[in-house]
Chains A and B, each alone.
Chain A
Amino acid sequence: MRQKVDTGYFGSFGGRFVPETLIHALEELEENYERYREDPEFVEELEQLARDFVGRPTPFMFAGRLTRKWGGANVWFKREDLAHTGAHKINNALGQILLADRMGKQRIIAETGAGQHGVATATVAALYGKECVVYMGEEDIRRQAPNVVRMKLLGTEVRPVTTGARTLKDATSEAIRDWVTNVEDTHYIIGSVVGPAPYPRIVRDLQSVIGKEIETQARERFGADPDAVVACVGGGSNAIGAFHTFVGREGVRLIGVEAAGRGIETGEHGASLTEGKPGVLHGNLSYVLQTDGGQIREAHSISAGLDYPSVGPEHAYLKDEGFAEYVNVTDDEALEGFKACSRLEGIIPALETSHAIFHAEKVAKELGPGKNLVINISGRGDKDVAVAAEALGVDAQESEEVSGDG
């Protein structure tokens, strides 16, 4: 009788809760990943592309004006927004396309919420000459239109998903259904540290380059580990990427920021870790927003990338073990973070990232001057200008007044 080699669990979270049809593909993926992760040729190809194609290492920037305004710890930005395609998502997509290529898969599928993972996948599919289909909720297609156009320009087919709330959860379900149906010739590039094992571990490993670079750059710039690392959490891949190097390290606070949407009390939010309870969605056991009867609830966030009713199982583990703290930030607060970063630092951040920026002010004040806080600027906000303009335009008078330093 076959026994499990790698359980695919993080504490009691994770696992492989998928139909039998997919098990073979997951085992094949796991075997190939184990085989190639330390293969010198694979590593060299990945490192070369990370450097020449993605632009790694991404810069580490002192955010001087935010530091002065908040009056607390020194604020540093890890500039994942400067990675090719505009977000950290490319780190994962690139590693996975190399794997898919070695497994001989000619067709690539992906789900996307904000469209950043869809664009990253479309990009690497173009680079490797693969057929690519991206599933995206109709609601997200509407609010992230620029990314839809980018995917199409890259030769990818964007399939609108019209079930449920027409957002990331529904797109993920459709991508899994496609994979079940076309599993022989198709590789599913999942976009976050979610899904069935071994995905959460593979995506974490590929994203952990962020934290490794932070460690090196922090030592170069201020000669120590950061006192805190703050990142937004939807599925949680940019946060795991930034945290992983520092998990369990004394003196480094790891803080994940979820979407409180219209406010936790309204029930319209995406705060799975703080408001959900353990459950199974999309192949793993983690914290899930659900009814008492186990039906999955719709999430809500102004940012499509945080609009997801579950979270990567490793975050569930980090939370329960006390390795990381998790908080949440509303749509309106995120917009404040968005404005502050745009006007004081000349960087228009993604709405997802804006959640982390808003909360970082509190952390900077808690830590106090002389300490060092790193915000993972997971993505740039070009895709969000329409949504942000609409939301901020509601109070046009105020935006006139709050020019300059505010």
Chain B
Amino acid sequence: MTGSERLRAAFPKDRVALMPYLTAGYPTLEAAREVGEAYIAAGADVVEIGVPFSDPLADGPTIQATTTQALKNGADLDYCLDLASGLAGRVPVVFLVYYNVVFARGVEEFLRAAEEAGVSGLVVPDLPADEVGRFAELCGEYGVGLCPLAAPTSTDERLAWIGKLATGFVYCVSVAGVTGARDELPPGAVELLRRTRERTDAPVALGFGISSPEAAAEAASEADGVIIGSKLMQLVGEGGSERAGDWLSKVREAIVGVRQELHLKNQDQTQPLSPEDGG
């Protein structure tokens, strides 16, 4: 099974996938491994690992602070790959990585190393569809799932393009803005999920600003996955992996029932095409 197949298979049919994020190397190189373990114990379906970059343009203050600390701790790409391989045996791992880190390693060499470490998918926030060209082909060759961003400002035409490029999942950005915990789900988020779903057969995940079990449950009615980052990094900062894991368990409880109810109402309409169905 390729990484992208494994990633798609990780989206359960009967409920939304739980996709927690961690910054590699935060709060320390060792403690980041514990954070990953806590996520798995809390029932994560996919773990998203942020590869630290000095200038993370898509990230708000919370995640910026974690990447700054991680870089001070010495979290380079080799460390991130090692961290990924330690988790990837049990749960699909996705890298969130800024393009210069990929480019500096060399695109092919980066993909080879990622595949070897068991990384299933890539989110490259500063590589929009316009620039993805050859990179997408190479991801295909290495079987690593590409997970492009879709934004509330994306036109329907672009969403179709993005949807086609997504060999992993489509990462819907809930709000025009950077990452960071917000009190409630922005009103445009559900609309974006619907517009995206109409134009892709890839799973559709929602991220940016989901910071309460309630917001996650709300997203769960339309999304195939919820990505939670800043809130968890805040909790790790305050109380370590244990605190983050406990909170994540609550989110899991909140989202488990949602999709089943919806599923009964809508039958198959909201289902993504999973590998079992489509290939």
List chain A positions with a Cβ less than 8 A from chain B. 1-2, 4, 15-25, 163-164, 169, 173, 176-177, 180-184, 278-283, 285, 288, 290-296
Chain B contacts for A17, CB-based, 8 A: 99, 126-128, 131
12 A-B pairs besides A20-B162, A181-B177 with CB distance below 8 A are: A2-B157, A19-B57, A19-B58, A20-B148, A23-B128, A23-B151, A180-B58, A181-B178, A288-B100, A290-B100, A293-B77, A296-B54
Q: List 28 A-B contacts (CB under 8 A).
A: A1-B164, A2-B158, A15-B130, A17-B99, A17-B127, A20-B148, A20-B149, A20-B153, A20-B162, A20-B173, A21-B149, A21-B176, A23-B128, A23-B151, A23-B153, A177-B57, A180-B176, A181-B177, A182-B176, A279-B104, A280-B103, A280-B126, A283-B126, A291-B104, A293-B101, A294-B104, A294-B105, A295-B54
Q: Tell me which residues across on chain A come within 8 A of B103, comparing CB atoms.
A: 278-280, 285, 294
- Interface: B201 (CB within 8 A): no
Residues of A within 8 A of B53 (CB): 294-295
Q: Hey, which chain B residues are within 8 Å of A169, CB to CB?
A: 55
Give the contacts of B39-87 with A (CB-CB under 8 A): 53-55, 57-58, 60, 64, 68, 71, 76-77
Whether B2 is near chain A, meaning CB under 8 Å from some CB there, is: no
Q: Which of B94-140 contact A (CB under 8 A)?
A: 98-105, 125-131
B150 contacts A by Cβ under 8 Å: yes
> Is there an interface contact between A176 and B57, defined as CB atoms closer than 8 Å?
yes
By a CB distance below 8 angstroms, the chain B residues around A15 are 130-131
Give the distance in Å from the alpha carbon of A19 to the alpha carbon of B54 in the complex: 16
Residues of the B chain whose Cβ atoms lie less than 8 Å from the Cβ of A182: 176
Top 6 A-B residue pairs of the complex, sorted by shortest distance between their CB atoms: A294-B104, A21-B151, A181-B177, A20-B149, A24-B153, A294-B101
> Would A293 and B149 count as touching, CB distance under 8 A?
no
Are B57's CB and A173's CB within 8 A? yes
B158 contacts A296, CB within 8 Å? Answer: no
How many residues of B are counted as interface, with CB atoms below 8 angstroms from the partner's CB atoms?
44
The closest CB in chain B to the CB of A181 belongs to B177
| A72–B153 CA distance with the chains assembled, in angstroms | 57
Nearest residue (CB) in A for B160 is A1
| Distance to closest chain A CB from B75 (angstroms) | 10
Q: From residue A385, how far is it (CB to closest CB) to chain B in Å?
A: 32
Complex CA gap A95/B3 in Å reads 49
Bound: A180/B158 CA distance, A: 17
Instruction: Report if A19-B77 is in contact (Cβ < 8 Å); known contacts: A2-B161, A24-B155, A164-B54.
Output: no
In the complex the two chains form, what is the Cα distance from A290 to B53 in whole Å?
A: 11
Chain B 176-189 near chain A by CB (<8 Å), digits 1 or 0: 11100000000000
CB neighbors of A among B160-207 (8 A): 160-162, 164, 173, 176-178
A181: chain B residues at CB < 8 Å are 176-178
Q: In the complex, which residues of chain B have a beta carbon less than 8 angstroms from the beta carbon of A183?
A: 153, 176
Which residue of B has the minimal Cβ distance to A163?
A: B64
Q: Across the interface, which residues of A come within 8 angstroms of B157, CB to CB?
A: 2
